[in-house]
Structure 1
Amino acid sequence: MLYGIAAATAALLLTAVLTALLRGVALRAGIVDRRMQRRTPLLGGLAVVTVTCLVAWVGESTRIALLGRGVGRLLVAAAALAALGLVADVWRLRARVLVAGTAVAAACVVPYEETGVAGGLLGIAWIVVASLAFKGLDHVDGLAGTVGVITAFGAGACAAAEMLDGLAALLSVFAAALTGFLMHNWPPARIGLGSCGALFTGFLLASSLVLTRAGYGLAASSAVTACFGAVAAADALLVLFARLLARRPLLRRGPDHLAHRLRRLGLTPAGSVVLLGAGSFSTVLVGVLVHTGWTGEEAALWVAGGALLVVGVLLRIPVQRSRGTETMQVSGQLRVRNG
C-alpha cells in the first residue's frame, strides 16, 4: 500500500518535470503540431512512457511490485509501439505503418491459451481499433489525458477484482504519470501526447482489458470493453460519418471531432473536456459494474445507445475549417470549397 502511494506520487512528479524539459526539446527540434493556429510540441507522450516504464522497472527489479510474466510482456510491447509512434511524430509515418505496428504488438500480448485462436484474433482487432480511436482524442487539448486517467483507474479496479495485482499497480502508476502530463496539457496545452503517447495509452488500456477479461464469455467481454471505449468510439464514429457524408478524405485531419463540435455549441475548450470526461467516467463506471457483476450486461446497451445518440446529434452541428479547406453549411447541406 505504501509502495503504491510512493510509486504513484513519484510517477506524477517525475512526469511533470520531464514533460516541462521535453517541451523545450520538442520546440527546438521542430517536433510540433498545429492546433488552433498555434504550435504545440509533441513529446509529452515520451515523458509518460519513460516514467511509467522506469517506475515499473524499479518495482520489478527490487521485487517490491512484481508485474508478472504477461504484464511485463504487455509493457514491453506498449513501449515498442510508443517508439514507433515517436518515429511517426518526427518523420510522419503513413497510417498503415502504425496500424501494422499496433497489430503486431497486440499479437504479442493476447493470452491465446485463455481466449483461443478466434478470441485472440478478436482481441487483436479490439486493441488495434481502440488504440487508433484513442489516438484521435489527442487532437484536442487535455482530452486524451483526461479520458486516459479515468479509463486507467477503471481498468485498474477491474484488474484488482481479478487479483491481477501487477497489472493494477502498473495502471495506477500510468494514471499518475498521465496526471503529471495533464498539468501541462490542460487547455490551452503547452505540450501534446503525440503519436508516441497516444498509441501507448490506447494500447496499454485496451490490452489491459483483454488480459483482465481473458476466460470470460465473448458477449460479456464485449459489453465491458464497449463501456470502457465508449468516448473514443463515439469520437471515431462521428469523424468517420462526417467525412463520408462530406466526401472528404478519411485520414485528413480537421476540426470535426466531439470536442470541436461541442465548442461550436458555445462550450469553452476546458468545458468540453470536462463534459466529455464526465461522460467517460459514467461509461467506465458502468463497465466496472458489469465486470464485477453489480449490474447485467444489458447496461452496455444503454451506453451504446447513448453514444450513438450523441453522435447523431453532434453530426448535425456544422464545422468550420480555419485553414486549407473550409466547411460551410449552405441551404441545410455541407459544401466544401478550397480556401
Structure 2
Amino acid sequence: MNTTTAWVTAVAGFLTCCLAVVPLKRLALRWGLTDRPSANKAHARPTPYLGGIAITLGTLVPAVTALGLADQRITAVLLAATVMALVGLIDDIRPMQPFTKLTVGTVAASGVVSSGVHVTVFGGWLDGSLTVLWIVVVANSFNLLDNMDGALGAVATVTAAFLAGTAFVSGQPSLGLLLIVLACTSLGFLPHNWAPAKIFMGDSGSLFIGFIISCSAVFLVSGQDLDTMFAGLLLPTFVATVDTGVVFFSRLRAGRSPLAGGTDHVSHRLRRMGLGPRMVAVVLGLAAAAAGTCCLAMALQWISPPVTAVITAGAAILLIHLLQGVSAYESIEHPMPGNRERQG
C-alpha cells in the first residue's frame, strides 16, 4: 500500500462525512429525530441526531473500497462496528434496554475475537473472554464520553490518528489505513459538532468509534508481552478510561448506581472548573494526544514498555483521584447556547 492510496482514501473519508452530514441533518429534522432540550441538557433547541450515519459511511465506504474484505480480522472489526452503529441508531430512534445493547455488543465482540483479534495473557478461552469484556466496556466508555459538544469528536480524531501511526510503525498498514480514515472522518464531522453543535453523532457514531478503537488496540498488542499489552491497551483509551473511572468510583462513594445517568463525567467537572465547552473539547483532545504520543513512542522503541505502563497507570489513577474532588452536581454557570451536557 503506497502513501498516495492512504491519503486519497483518508481524504475520501473526510469528504464523504462532510457531504453526508447536511442531508442527514435535514432528514433528522424532518422526521423529528432530535435531542430535545430538558432540565439536564443545556442546548436551547432540538438538535438532530443521525451524525453517526455520516461517520459510519465516511469510514466504511473508503476503507472497504481500498482494502476489500481479504483480511478477515479487519473485516470482523468493520462488521462488528457496523452492527453496533445500527444498534446505536435504533437506540437513538427508540431507546433500547441496556441489557439488549450489551448482549449485542458481546456477540459483536465475540465475532472479532473469533477472527484472531484477542489478548494473549493466559492462553485458551480465558483470553477470548477477557478480550470480549474489555472491548464491550471500552466501547461503551467511548459512548458515554459523548456528553458535550465536540468532546468525543476531538478525542476520536486525535486517538485514531496516533493509533494509525502506531499501526503503520508496527507493520500493520491495513489497520493503519482504517484508522487514518476514521481520524479524517471524525475530523470532517467535528465542525458540525463543535459548540454550539448543529448535529449530534448519537449512540450510532459513538459506539462505532468505540468499537473500532478498542478492537484496533487489541489488534496491535496481540502476541506482545504483558507490559506492552497493558500500555498498548490503556494509552489509546486513556481519556475514556479515566472518565469511566471517575464516574464509577465517585458514584460508589456516593452510594449511587454506577449504571445510572448523571452529569458527573470529566467534561462536566472541567466545565465546573470554569472551562467553556470548546475548551473542554480541546483539553480532552490534548490529553488524547499526549497518550497517543506515548503509544507511538513505545512502538518506535523510544521508551520502554514497563516504564510506559507504570507512568500511564499512575497518571490514570492520579487523575481519577483528583477529578473526584471537583463538585459534580452543581449547576453550570452560563452554558453556551447549543451546548449539550446530557446524562450518561
Counterparts of 2:217 and 2:43 in 1: how far apart (Å)?
A: 37
Mapping of residues 215-230 of structure 1, within 5 Å: 215-230=223-238
Post-superposition CA distance 1:224-268 (Å, at most 9, x none): 111221110111111112222333343332221111111111111
Q: By how many angstroms is 1:144 displaced? A: 0.7
Residues 299/48 of structure 1: CA separation in 2 closer, same or farther (3 Å cut)? same
Post-superposition CA distance 1:289-322 (Å, at most 9, x none): 2233221222222222222222222212223366
Partner of 1:15: 17
Greater percentage in strand: 1
Counterparts of 2:246 and 2:47 in 1: how far apart (Å)?
A: 24
Residues 114/94 of structure 1: CA separation in 2 closer, same or farther (3 Å cut)? closer
Q: By how many angstroms is 1:58 displaced? A: 2.0
Counterparts of 1:301 and 1:113 in 2: how far apart (Å)?
A: 22
Partner of 2:209: 201
Partner of 1:330: none
Residues 114/233 of structure 1: CA separation in 2 closer, same or farther (3 Å cut)? closer
Post-superposition CA distance 1:164-222 (Å, at most 9, x none): 21111111111111111101011111111111111110110110111111111233201
| Structure 1 portions without partners, runs of 5+ | 324-339
Contact 2:167 2:173 in 1 (8 A): yes
Partner of 2:71: 68
Partner of 1:332: none
Counterparts of 2:81 and 2:251 in 1: how far apart (Å)?
A: 30
Counterparts of 1:218 and 1:271 in 2: how far apart (Å)?
A: 36
Counterparts of 2:204 and 2:276 in 1: how far apart (Å)?
A: 27
Partner of 1:248: 256
Residues 43/112 of structure 1: CA separation in 2 closer, same or farther (3 Å cut)? closer
Partner of 2:84: 81
Identity of aligned residues (%): 33
Contact 2:118 2:127 in 1 (8 A): no
Counterparts of 2:117 and 2:175 in 1: how far apart (Å)?
A: 18
Counterparts of 1:260 and 1:48 in 2: how far apart (Å)?
A: 25
Between 1:290-299 and 1:109-118, the stretch displaced more is: 109-118
Partner of 2:315: 306
Partner of 2:42: 36
Contact 1:67 1:166 in 2 (8 A): no
What is the TM-score of this pair, normalised by structure 1? 0.88
- Partner secondary structure for residue 146 of structure 2: helix
Contact 2:34 2:49 in 1 (8 A): yes
Counterparts of 2:207 and 2:118 in 1: how far apart (Å)?
A: 26
Partner of 1:284: 292
Contact 2:119 2:218 in 1 (8 A): no
Counterparts of 1:216 and 1:109 in 2: how far apart (Å)?
A: 18
Counterparts of 1:265 and 1:112 in 2: how far apart (Å)?
A: 40
Amino acid of the structure 1 residue aligned with 2:99: R
Number of positions where the alignment pairs a residue of Structure 1 with one of Structure 2: 319
Mapping of residues 130-279 of structure 1, within 5 Å: 130-279=138-287
- Partner secondary structure for residue 141 of structure 1: coil
Say whether 1:52 aligns with 2:77. no
Higher relative contact order (CA 8 A, sep 6+): 2
4+ residue runs of structure 1 moved beyond 6 angstroms?
none
Contact 1:112 1:119 in 2 (8 A): no
Contact 2:17 2:189 in 1 (8 A): yes
Counterparts of 2:331 and 2:93 in 1: how far apart (Å)?
A: 24
RMSD: 2.0
Q: By how many angstroms is 1:274 displaced? A: 0.8
Amino acid of the structure 2 residue aligned with 1:89: D
Counterparts of 1:113 and 1:4 in 2: how far apart (Å)?
A: 26
Amino acid of the structure 2 residue aligned with 1:6: V
Counterparts of 1:132 and 1:46 in 2: how far apart (Å)?
A: 18
Counterparts of 1:154 and 1:10 in 2: how far apart (Å)?
A: 19
Counterparts of 2:70 and 2:290 in 1: how far apart (Å)?
A: 29
Mapping of residues 315-334 of structure 1, within 5 Å: 315-320=324-329
Residues 293/50 of structure 1: CA separation in 2 closer, same or farther (3 Å cut)? same
Q: By how many angstroms is 1:21 displaced? A: 1.6
Residues 226/112 of structure 1: CA separation in 2 closer, same or farther (3 Å cut)? closer
Counterparts of 1:112 and 1:206 in 2: how far apart (Å)?
A: 11
Q: By how many angstroms is 1:288 displaced? A: 2.1
What is the TM-score of this pair, normalised by structure 2? 0.87
Amino acid of the structure 2 residue aligned with 1:100: T
Q: By how many angstroms is 1:113 displaced? A: 8.6
Amino acid of the structure 2 residue aligned with 1:173: V
Counterparts of 2:118 and 2:217 in 1: how far apart (Å)?
A: 16
Between 1:109-118 and 1:169-178, the stretch displaced more is: 109-118
Contact 1:286 1:300 in 2 (8 A): no
